[in-house]
Amino acid sequence: MLERLDDLRHLGGQLGREGTAGALVTYRELDGPGSLRYLVSADEGKTLAAAILEGATQRLGRRVVHLRDLGKDALLALPPEEQYLVATGRTYFRGLSFDQLHRMQFDLETTGLDAGRDRIFMVAVRDPSGATEVLEAFLRRSIARLLTGDVSGVRDIYVATLDALRRRELPPYDVSSKVRLTKTPAQYLDTRETRREMSYEAMLASGRTSWSAGDRIRVYRTRSGSGSVIEEPEDETAAVGRADARDYDVDHYARVLRKTYAARLARAFTPGDFEVLLADPDQMSLFTPPIATIRTVLTKEEQAHID
């Protein structure tokens, strides 16, 4: 789309209105208040781009090499696949609106770039609400022990945290996530029949039917698989110390502890030693080597950057 046709005037009779037989480049004037008034087309994208660049070079008295040099106010050039979608009215996701899409962002951390030797040691995942599980105290304490070479201490912290989860000694606040609500109540209710989302279901279950897009709440996953809202106090110590139901999903948070947080320590050990370090204390093998025999494989540089 062009703001004006000046850069195509040099084509003379080879420039014509849409439908003109034999025209090298055709145009159609668009309705509406936008400044990009002309939709121009050619059989080949290269032909169209070359014609515009030649005309712009003549008009400006200097060589114009790229279409982007003309600026966004003068021209819009979409990639071919997006041109197709605009021209046909089709979309990537059929009839789904943007708010109905469930998007996911993930990050892979590897020990190196050699596929034959190196391996993935951490996968971090974030969903559209921004949910991240809060079991960071375990990770901070483990890294502190790891940097002093105290492998047995790392094991002790992992087992103690896992036991605390299974005995429900941790308050829900410690496993909760602070999430951002991206939909209004009306927007969520429009899509609720096709896809239910834990944070909004938790709001409705707590009797809250009014909120604004952008509000942040604290939620956790209950043993039934649903969500529950926790009030965010001004003083976090008050949240930790108060009475609570402790009805969180133990199995879910045990997996989060191992796969999201403990997995960040994998780089410090051989694969076999790492499996021993995180072995379930309730399912120990008779042939498991003693933790005291495990050593880290970190270099001094890696120790400086592991946290």
pLDDT digits (tens, 9 = 90+) for 229-279: 987 665 544 444 444 678 899 999 888 888 888 888 888 888 888 888 888
Burial degree of 75 (CB within 10 A; 0-12, 13-18, 19+): buried
Through-space distance between the first and last CA atoms of the chain, rounded to whole angstroms: 50
Q: Which amino acid is at 231?
A: E
91-105: average pLDDT: 68
Q: Return d(Cα 221, Cα 262) in angstroms, integer.
A: 20
Pinpoint the alpha helices (H) of the chain. Answer: 45-60, 80-88, 136-146, 151-166, 172-175, 185-191, 198-205, 236-241, 250-256, 271-277, 300-305
Q: 99-307 in CATH: which number?
A: 1.10.132
Q: Which residues contact 231 (CB under 8 A, 6 or more apart)?
A: 218, 239
Residue 114 in tokens: 């050699």
pLDDT digits (tens, 9 = 90+) for 237-250: 444 444 467 889 99
In 10 A of CB 305, how many CB atoms? Answer: 9
User: Minimum mean pLDDT among 44-53, 54-63, 245-254: which range?
Assistant: 245-254
The three-state secondary structure class of 193 is coil
The pTM is what? 0.50
Residue 245 in tokens: 């139901």
Domain definitions of the chain by residue range:
6-88, 99-307
Please give the mean pLDDT across all residues of the chain.
Answer: 82
